[in-house]
Amino acid sequence: MASFCPECGGELKFDLSSKNFICKSCGLFASREKIDELRDKAENSRSDPSRTHHDDYLDWWQSSKKDKQQK
C-alpha cells in the first residue's frame, strides 16, 4: 500500500526501528496518528471557503510593500 505525505505529496516509508513514517521528499517524520491528524487538517482547510479567503489575506499581509503595490 502506497502512502503519501500530507505536507508535500511525496512517498512515505515506514521506519520499523522508530515506528514512524518518513517522507522521502520533505523529510516529515511522524507517527500514524500525526499523519492522520495532518491529513484531516488539510481536508478541513480545503473545504472551508472562508479559510481560503483568510489565507489569501494573510499571504498578502506578509508580503513586502513592493509586492503589495503590484497586486
Q: Write the DSSP symbol of residue 5.
A: -
Query: What CA–CA distance (Å, rounded) separates 7 from 12?
Result: 11
Where does the pLDDT of residue 1 fall: very low under 50, low under 70, confident under 90, or very high at 90 and above?
very low
Which residue would you say has higher pLDDT here, 71 or 38? 38
Domain boundaries, the chain: 3-62
Whats the size of the chain, residue-wise?
71
Which three three-digit cell numbers place residue 69?
A: 503595490
pLDDT one-digit tens code per residue, 41-69: 888 776 666 666 777 888 888 887 666 66
What confidence score (pLDDT) does residue 53 get?
75
**Terminal-to-terminal C-alpha distance of the chain:** 44
The residue to which cell 489565507 is assigned:
55
Contact 31, 20 (CB under 8 A): yes
